A and B are shown apart, each in its own frame.
Chain A
Amino acid sequence: MTEILALDGLVKRFGSRTILDGISLNVSAGEIVCFVGPSGTGKSTLLRCINGLEDIQGGCISFEGQAVQGNPGAIRAVRKRIGMIFQHFNLYPHLTALQNVMLAPVVVHKEPRAEVEARARTLFDKVRLAHRINAYPSEMSGGEQQRVAIARALCTNPHLLMFDEPTSALDPETVGDVLTVMRDLALEGRTMLVVTHEIRFAADVGTRMVFMDQGRIVEQGDPRAMVAGAQTERARKFLGTIHG
């Protein structure tokens, strides 16, 4: 498996608070890595460092052999190959669902509009929202908006998908729709990093589980094995509480 992402001794501080305290991690193509752990342990911050939304105070990140640091051009080049899905969707409210999905390919990647639109339409089929193509975000449910956000991320043909608590802001009845779409993506063999509290999803779909606490990776391994019985006390306790 080719390695696409390498983190080495990553340190992130906000002022005097250390959020990430020396994270090292390697991700190969096709892996689905699920990050779990208590709130405020830096899981989301970790994703945001990977595409340069947060600067880092130590260590290094390289994506497909390219450092995510320093000049804005290099960071943008990396961002073009990573799709990100946010907890609060962050759809562009002034654009329809279709326009949301088409904007980056047309503006950032300078692809021909007709080609992008054809691809966008197949993506709406994939996320089961073909009937909502002309709706504005304000007219859609949270679950629908998040599926549009997934289509938007997919439309730039990213090499890595990052999900930052994609179901945390959703009504319980729409969580399933989003997870179904994510399962489909996993079956396609896409490389995914998922920060989630859905332990069952992580166990079913993930190829690796990373348990984080207080800015560190406490334990990682096969998701099913970890849910059945983690090595460390802290992970066992956390997974036990959430699962049971």
Chain B
Amino acid sequence: MIQYWPLMLKAAGTTLWLSWLAMLLGAFGGTALALLRQIKFAPLRWAVIGYMEFFRSIPILIVLFFVFYGVPLLLEVDISPFVAATLALALHASATMSEVVAAGIASVGRGQWEAAAAAGFSWPQTMRHIIAPQALRVILPPSVGVFITTLKESSLASIIGYIELTRTGLLVRDATGGGFVPLLALGAVYFVINYAISQVGAALERRLHVGRRSDLVGAMA
């Protein structure tokens, strides 16, 4: 088993990279969707809500199959397992993140918008200087959760033949003649990664809140 550790660690890196990329795309996509929802134009809002409900309701494995097998047929392009996995995870994460970002924006009281409007701030200026910094504190904790979920879901990429952490663990298990230990090791690696992520998230959260604990009360007034 010990001789396979370097392989496992390298695979852990692959899984982290895949999930990080998917999370980044998902966060950008989700933010864009949440901002689109702010625009008071009904068809646009329905389109965004439809997108969200769609990707939240179907299993990520189906999305993965669709991207990996369906899209190449439809568009006659080659899609590598890595790209397919990244896309599928990002689509899924963007649907969840749009909810998280929308809730964060909604958490900032109306008084903040009014104070900004009365002072002559434009919408982008209001967003950037007044709403986003306050929303971020509400958005961060659930985002860490979305990242962890994405990382765990990335194990599905093993099914379309992408050699990430789970796939590597299963290969090691085969190579060592089956048994329980490689699976235990695999679980341990996932645990360590996700525990570290939630610790980093908690530290970030503390930094955002320094010296302003009860300010949400002021924001709501």
Contact = CB atoms under 8 A, between A and B. Distances in A.
Interface of A: 51-53, 76-77, 79-80, 82-84, 86, 88-94, 103-104, 107-109, 136-139, 145, 152-153, 156, 169
A136 B219 CA distance: 12
Interface string B111-125: 110110111111001
Nearest to A93: B215
Interface stretch (B35-43, B56-64, B128-136, B159-167): B128-136
Contacts of B212: 93-94, 136, 138
Contacts of A86: 111, 114-115, 118
Given A88-B221, A90-B111, A90-B221, A138 B119 contact: no
Interface in B82-139: 111-112, 114-115, 117-122, 125, 129-130, 133-134, 137
Contacts of A83: 119
Question: Which of A82, A93, A109 is the most central at the interface, judged by chain B CB atoms within 10 Å of its CB?
Answer: A93
A136 B211 contact: yes
- Residue of B129, B130, B133, B216 with most chain A CB atoms under a 10 A cut-off: B129
Looking at chain B's contact residues, the main secondary structure is helix
24 contacts: A53-B118, A79-B117, A84-B115, A84-B118, A86-B111, A86-B115, A90-B111, A90-B112, A90-B115, A91-B115, A91-B218, A92-B112, A92-B115, A93-B134, A93-B219, A94-B133, A94-B137, A108-B121, A108-B125, A109-B120, A136-B215, A137-B218, A138-B218, A153-B119
Given A92-B134, A94-B137, A94-B212, 8 more contacts: A52-B117, A76-B122, A84-B119, A94-B134, A107-B129, A108-B122, A138-B217, A139-B211
Interface residues of B, number: 26
A104 B134 contact: no
A26 to B, nearest CB: 22
Contacts of B134: 92-94
B171 to A, nearest CB: 49
Given A88-B221, A93-B215, A138-B214, A103 B129 contact: yes
Enumerate the 4 nearest inter-chain pairs by beta-carbon distance, A residue then B residue, closest first: A93-B215, A90-B115, A88-B221, A80-B120
Contact of A104 (B120, B214, B216, B219): B120
Interface string B185-221: 0000000000000000000000000011111111101
Contacts of A76: 120, 122
Contacts of B133: 94
Contacts of B213: 138
A108 B119 contact: yes
Nearest to A51: B118
A138 B215 contact: yes
Contacts of A107: 121, 125, 129
Contact of B221 (A52, A84, A139, A169): A169
Name the residue among B118, B133, B134 with the largest chain A CB count within 10 angstroms. B118
A136 to B, nearest CB: 5
A14 to B, nearest CB: 15
Nearest to A91: B218
Contact of A79 (B118, B130, B217): B118
Interface in B34-83: none
Nearest to B132: A94
B188 to A, nearest CB: 39
A76 B129 CA distance: 17
Contact of A90 (B114, B125, B137, B216): B114
